[in-house]
């Protein structure tokens, strides 16, 4: 059993969550904020069997696209404070994917 944490763009979260649930996966959506851009993103929690990891990756690749985003000069507390207010463009990945081992999983 694995727990996948997938950080995705807010704009992709509805369609990718819908695709995952349609395929029978159980998904929890968390509203999160990236530490660098300090803008909202979505973290999906997906508990699944080991042999389903590749299927989940395929779905995320299909629905989560890479984007260029501007790091706004005035709204972040992260690296941009060091940048003296200079806006910069960064490439935000389609999905950032972590796989964690799960010791136990039960519904009480
Ligand atoms: P943010 O932290 O807002 O980062 C947005 C994008 O800014 C990143 O895209 C990357 O292109 C750039 N970036 C982030 N931190 C940087 C740094 N220290 N120096 C230079 N550039 C940096 P992605 O790598 O695709 O990440 C998208 C979002 O996924 C991140 O939003 C964060 O919420 C999450 N994430 C990515 N890698 C992570 C990690 N190792 N641990 C935890 N969260 C992560």
For residue range 32-54, what is the model confidence (pLDDT) as tens digits? 999 999 999 999 999 999 999 99
User: Please, are residues 4 and 49 in contact by the beta-carbon 8 Å criterion?
Assistant: no
Domain of 25 in residue numbering reads as 2-101
In a domain, 106, yes or no: no
- Quote the number of domains for the chain: 1
Q: Which of 11, 93, 3, 103 is nearest to 48 (CA)?
A: 3
Q: Which letter does DSSP use for residue 93 in this model?
A: P
In a domain, 31, yes or no: yes
Out of 15-24, 33-42, 77-86, pick the least confident: 77-86
Q: How many other C-beta atoms lie within 10 A of the C-beta of residue 20?
A: 22
**Predicted structure pTM score:** 0.89
C-alpha 91 – ligand 1 centre gap (Å): 9
Band (pLDDT 50/70/90 cuts) for residue 93 is confident
In a domain, 107, yes or no: no
Q: Which atom of ligand 1 is nearest to the CA of 32?
A: 33
Band (pLDDT 50/70/90 cuts) for residue 81 is low
Q: Which atom of ligand 1 is nearest to the CA of 94?
A: 25
Question: For the CA atoms of 9, 76, 28, 93, what is the dihedral angle to 10 degrees?
Answer: 30
User: Please, are residues 55 and 46 in contact by the beta-carbon 8 Å criterion?
Assistant: no
């Amino acid at each position: 059993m694995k727990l996948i944490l997938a950080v995705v763009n807010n704009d992709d979260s509805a369609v990718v969550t819908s695709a995952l649930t349609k395929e029978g996966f159980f998904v929890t959506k968390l509203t999160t904020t990236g530490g660098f851009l300090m803008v909202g993103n979505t973290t999906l929690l997906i508990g699944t069997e080991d042999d389903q990891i590749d299927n989940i990756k395929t779905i995320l690749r299909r629905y989560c696209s890479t984007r260029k985003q501007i790091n706004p000069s005035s709204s972040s507390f992260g690296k941009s404070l060091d940048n003296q207010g200079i806006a910069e463009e960064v490439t935000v990945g389609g999905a950032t994917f972590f796989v964690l081992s799960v010791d136990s999983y039960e519904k009480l």
